[in-house]
Chain A
Amino acid sequence: MVEEIGTTADGDLIINVGPQHPATHGVLHLVITLNGETIKKVEPHLGYIHRSIEKMCESLSYRQFIYVTSRMDYLSSHINNHGCALLVEKAMQIEVPARAQAIRVLLDELTRIASHELWWGAMAMDLGAFTPFFHAFREREMINEIMEDTCGARLTMNYILPGGVLEDIHPDFVKKTKEFIALFKRKVDEYFELLTGNIIFQNRMKGVGILSAEDAISFGCSGPTLRGSGISCDVRKHYPYEIYSQLQFEEVLETGCDSLARYLVRLREMKQSIHIIEQLIDNIPEGDFQAKTKAVLKLPKGEFYQRVETARGEFGIYVVSEGGTTPYRIKFRSPGFSNLSALDHMARGSKIGDLVAMMGTLDLVIPDIDR
């Protein structure tokens, strides 16, 4: 623990960013040691939104613990739910109907687009560009409406159950999704036009927050943060789950290692997500949307691990089961936590004004880091 206010022995200034600061998008508290304008050290302080979710899960059944994970990374709540359901299905060897699998993947990709859009808008706002925020939210609203029709909620879906999904897709789902894709394809190019080429934006992103491939790996980064450093790490490619192995999509890689590279990875990923949705939307198999499961789910004795690719990186669920109806121990590997740990390394030696840009490109969601 450092002293949280004042100056150090060698005359460096210690300032606090957060826990209530508009640029941290949540209750993140950073203690920064400054030499003039140059950052010497960034220390994140966690714990402001700790809800002891892992402990809570120990008293919840295998149907109930899924809903808690919506409250971790609330922007990829559907993907978190998906991972938990996959774990239970893997452990109990439940066969999921093809229709449910397709629906899940479709909604996963829509969630990913929605999450990246929010990130794009919020990050531009951090850098002082206000318009992109409205553009991003306008398109995100369409996804939210699709979600609301089918899942019954806009953010914390709770749509996935072990064995399938809660209800069949809404009759309007296919039509609305197609409308969205047609529109969104144009809009992604508009995003590039509006922000990417902008000289002010380029100058603030290029060469800022360098994270070399070795460092990114050693900090345990994953998702777009690691792919921005040129390392292939997409769980959907390396450990394919559900029907991802049958789908055509590219893993987006950038080799810039800087903030701009991470920015481009996310923007280009949106296009890949659309590509996946296009392949599936006309080919949703007929059949059941839910497999028959027992009223009480009991996992066999043993240890289980399942990983999924959320919008932020690899989300892992590790369950130790004693054979009962509740987990003996549960551990979540959240992508945000590892990505945040790289911030100190990235920020050392750069100016304090760039800190917000670096934080923006890590796409931090605080309840995910601090669960």
Chain B
Amino acid sequence: MFIVNYIKEVFGALKSLAVGLRRTMFYFTHHKEIITEQYPDNRATLKMSDRFKGEVVMPHDEKNEHRCTGCTACEVACPNGTIKIITKFEVNAEGKKKKAIDKFVYHLELCTMCNLCITACPSDAIKMAQTFEHSVFDRSHLTKVLNKPDSKIMEGVE
């Protein structure tokens, strides 16, 4: 009796291995079922989803104008001090002094892509870009000024 059970056990064990191996052989012969992204060879065609949170950017139009008023709502909303707004006073056409941004400093190395700044901004001045290759040789390259040099605030944005 013992020997029968023993043989049964051995064959049962072999069968269990064969069941698993059958799966493996299936994929061995069905290449279409395998998906591997050939990164970085596919960089030209690789497109991230349009909501992907890659980094905070400030869109400028063709006249080099942005929509940021310097209200610092985003700076307050940010949980980890990623954004620093440096403001200055500008004299406008009517001779009135007006607050405007001098520099919108953004520390990419601190950003956690939580989207709170974008939700907080009352004038839609910033948005998320879909970039993802952020590695640089020196950490200082990650500190960015988002408003372009000599850019101005758009007409009519308060």
Question: Which residues of A are at the interface with B, using a C-beta cutoff of 8 A?
Answer: 60-61, 63-65, 67-68, 131, 138, 141, 145, 148-153, 156, 158, 161, 166-167, 170, 190, 193-195, 197-200, 202
Contacts and interface: CB of A to CB of B under 8 A. Distances in A.
A153 B17 contact: no
22 contacts: A61-B79, A67-B114, A131-B23, A131-B24, A145-B49, A148-B48, A148-B49, A152-B49, A152-B53, A153-B53, A156-B112, A158-B53, A158-B112, A161-B119, A166-B119, A167-B51, A170-B49, A193-B19, A193-B23, A194-B20, A198-B16, A199-B16
Nearest to A71: B112
Interface in B98-153: 112-116, 119, 128
A120 B22 CA distance: 20
Contacts of B115: 152, 158, 166
Contacts of B113: 152-153, 156, 158
A103 to B, nearest CB: 14
Contact of A141 (B20, B35, B119): B35
Given A64-B79, A193-B23, A198-B16, 5 more contacts: A64-B114, A145-B49, A152-B113, A158-B113, A194-B23
Q: Looking at chain B, what size class is its interface with the partner chain? A: 20 to 34
Contact of A197 (B19, B24, B49): B19
A68 B79 contact: yes
Contacts of B12: 199
Contacts of B20: 193-195, 197-198
A64 B16 contact: no
9 shortest interchain CB distances as A-B pairs: A64-B79, A199-B13, A152-B51, A67-B114, A152-B53, A199-B16, A158-B114, A148-B49, A149-B49
A170 B79 contact: no
Nearest to B112: A67
Contacts of B119: 161, 166
A157 to B, nearest CB: 10
Nearest to A190: B23
Interface in B1-55: 12-13, 16-17, 19-20, 22-24, 34-35, 48-49, 51-53
Nearest to B48: A148
A315 to B, nearest CB: 19
Nearest to B78: A64
Given A67-B112, A68-B79, A170-B51, A202 B23 contact: no
B26 to A, nearest CB: 9
B118 to A, nearest CB: 9
B57 interface: no
The A interface is mostly helix, strand or loop, or mixed, namely helix
Nearest to A296: B76
A64 B112 CA distance: 11
Contacts of A131: 23-24
A53 to B, nearest CB: 12
Contacts of B16: 197-199, 202
B19 to A, nearest CB: 6
Interface of B: 12-13, 16-17, 19-20, 22-24, 34-35, 48-49, 51-53, 77, 79, 112-116, 119, 128
Contacts of A167: 51
B116 A152 contact: no
Nearest to A60: B79
A193 B15 CA distance: 11
Contacts of A60: 79
A194 B18 CA distance: 9
Given A67-B116, A138-B35, A198-B17, A152 B128 contact: yes
B116 A63 contact: yes
A191 B69 CA distance: 55
Contacts of B79: 60-61, 64-65, 67-68
A195 B16 CA distance: 9
B65 to A, nearest CB: 26
A152 B77 CA distance: 19
Contacts of B114: 64, 67, 158
Contacts of A152: 49, 51-53, 113, 115, 128
B35 A148 contact: no
A288 to B, nearest CB: 15
Interface centre among A151, A153, A156, A158 (most CB of B within 10 A): A153
A134 B22 CA distance: 16
Contacts of A166: 115, 119
A152 B24 CA distance: 34
Contacts of B128: 152
B113 to A, nearest CB: 6
B52 A153 contact: yes
Contacts of A68: 79
A141 B16 CA distance: 28
Most chain A CB atoms below 10 A, which of B16, B49, B52: B49
B116 A149 contact: no
